[in-house]
Amino acid sequence: MRNVIVIGAASMAVMGAALAQMQVGGGVVLLDVNSARYSDPAEGRLSLQVDDQPRLVALGDKDEICVQLRRESSDSTAISVHVRALRPEPQAAAVVQVAGPMVSPGTYRSTPWGMLLRVVSDVDGKPEKIRATANAPTCVL
């Protein structure tokens, strides 16, 4: 029984790493962002290029963030979001791992001030709700 559990856990880890690779295969990742102040669905679905410059993104009329995705140098399947809230309440930059080993795909991860972030693998049939950030102004984290 113990061997079955160990084999199952190893299989899950490999599947998680494979999913993370699929999500960043082309270098573009879909990221859901939620300010977590309300029980609403995610306020924005962003299309971000991994290892691009930090980008300034307005989420509705209340929130503005500076956000960047970086691939971890020690593990190419691990991706972290570097994010700083600019409005309504400025916050210090935070680093949140959103893909890779030990991160369940599609799970929201939180910043210290409560902003929720998650990587998604598809557009849920609503590609018009995705905001590309490639032409967004750059910002400083």
**pLDDT bucket at 25, cuts 50 / 70 / 90:** very low
pLDDT of residue 34: 87
pLDDT of residue 17: 38
Q: Distance of CA 102 to CAs 9, 97, 111, Å?
A: 11, 10, 17
pLDDT of residue 37: 63
pLDDT of residue 47: 92
Mean pLDDT along residues 70-98: 90
Tally of CA atoms within 13 A in the half-sphere of 74 that contains its CB: 3
Of 8-17, 119-128, 131-140, the one with minimum mean pLDDT is 8-17
Task: Report pTM.
Answer: 0.75
pLDDT score of 83 more than 90: yes
pLDDT of residue 31: 92
pLDDT score of 23 more than 60: no
Q: Which tokens is 64 given? A: 């503005």
- Residue 96, beta-bridge partner list: 81
Q: Which tokens is 16 given? A: 């998680």
pLDDT of residue 128: 61
